[in-house]
Amino acid sequence: MKHRVTSALTLVAALFVLPFVATTASQAEPLRIEITDGVIEPLPFAVPDFVAENAAGSEFASQIARVVAEDLTGTGLFREIPKDAFISTVTNFNSPVQYADWKAINAQALIVGAVMVSGNNVTVKFRLFDVFSGAALGDGLQFGGTTTSWRRMAHKVADAAYSRITGEGAYFDSRVVYVSETGPKNDRKKRLAIMDYDGANVQFLTDSRSLVLAPRFSPTGDRVLYTSYESGFPKIYVLDVASVGRRALADQPGTMTFAPRFSPNGQTVVYSLSAGGNTDIYRMDIGGGAAVRLTSEPSIETAPSFSPDGKQIVFESDRSGNQQLYIMSANGGEARRISFGAGRYGTPVWSPRGDLIAFTKQNGGRFHIGVMRVDGSEERLLTGAFLDEGPSWSPNGRVIMFMRETAGAGGAVSLWSVDISGRNLRQIKTDGGASDPAWSPLLK
């Protein structure tokens, strides 16, 4: 009984004490502030020339640092601090970083690297530092290869730095296949070419005897689908990048096949087939076999593109009387329309992240490259020009490359890229005209 009374008294005491304590404790809470307004500007970084660890390495030490800097600056997310502003010099890869010197020039990231060349082999190593935190961002990395592939090693250094700072995948060690165009507009020669993502190392994959269109990389980057007018009618070919060997695909007499694209697993191809005045979407195994018809509308269905999981296909159709975007199952069936804005929509491409669809839009006498969510919401136009067309996603889904043609009889075609925010619109350097870009996955 006594115990019960004690417990009851304790409980009553607790009921009286607790509110008081709660009030007092609230006074000891930390100061709380919420920050919602920041700035969006390129992050300043410094890349001193890489340290040449032997005499032969000095040939590449500066060049590799330049490529790394250009890769990062080209994203629009970073700003290089010029060398003449440096206070510190880096002469030894293992020397402690003088953070105060880099802070003084507002370098927020610092890339220090070293190069060693022995014979035909080159070794590149680097470390990335967060200057204001005074610590390395991740461990150092080392790459080895031949001297002819030094640019790839520079791209890999930039890829690693980009990923560690931004927290997302990069795209510098990748290639682009496109249609190289020469000659006047009324007699233009077109052939397939491949280059590094930044326009370096151009190589031609076909000659200019026949018209070629719309090349598309396989998910592994070793094959290319494209359309050729070699026979006088459009026909799909698959080309091996390493050997430049090719073979016709979906070769059905009396039909025209075009707009091919690989499935995410690389085993299937979707394409458009035009026969009897009607164009529909078909699917076929890359090894051949029977074609499966996925659409059967009397309208024109073309430009199919798989979702990253391979379960859906986005395509363009004029079944509503106007060219719009639709999504259907990868096995065909009923499609749902996702574009409802003014104008005409075409050439949809599903983002490798799966969240966005890039497209070409024609409205009010201008062409735009834009993106929208998979359900058609949040449409954003990123560019606007006389003729912008054919978007292609970077491997990380952050950048879109496309073709731009200027007006007039002497209109020139060129490749451009833009960040999905709409910033950093820039032209890709190519020798001569270029159109129909297709971005490869990251190289292995």
Smaller CB separation from another protein, 17 or 275: 17
Q: In the numeric block, which tokens belong to residue 228?
A: 């050729």
Q: Alpha-carbon distance 58 to 60, whole Å? A: 5
Smaller CB separation from another protein, 159 or 280: 159
Instruction: Please list, in sequence order, all residues whose beta carbon lies within 8 angstroms of the beta carbon of residue 272, skipping any fewer than 6 positions away.
Output: 257, 258, 259, 279, 280, 281, 282, 301, 302, 303, 304
Smaller CB separation from another protein, 275 or 386: 386
Alpha carbon 7 to chain centroid distance? 68
Minimum CB distance to another protein, residue 235 (Å)? 19
Smaller CB separation from another protein, 136 or 256: 136
Smaller CB separation from another protein, 9 or 275: 9
- The conformation of residue 100, written as its DSSP 8-state character, comes to H
For residue 432, the SS3 value is coil
Residue 91: how many CB atoms within 10 A of its CB?
8
With b for 16 or more beta-carbon neighbours within 10 A and e for fewer, the 297-307 pattern comes to: eeebbbbbbbb
Smaller CB separation from another protein, 34 or 334: 34
Contact (CB, 8 A) for 350 and 305: yes
Contact (CB, 8 A) for 63 and 49: no
397: left (phi over 0), alpha (psi -120 to 50) or beta: left
Smaller CB separation from another protein, 256 or 387: 387
Minimum CB distance to another protein, residue 396 (Å)? 9
Contact (CB, 8 A) for 268 and 262: yes
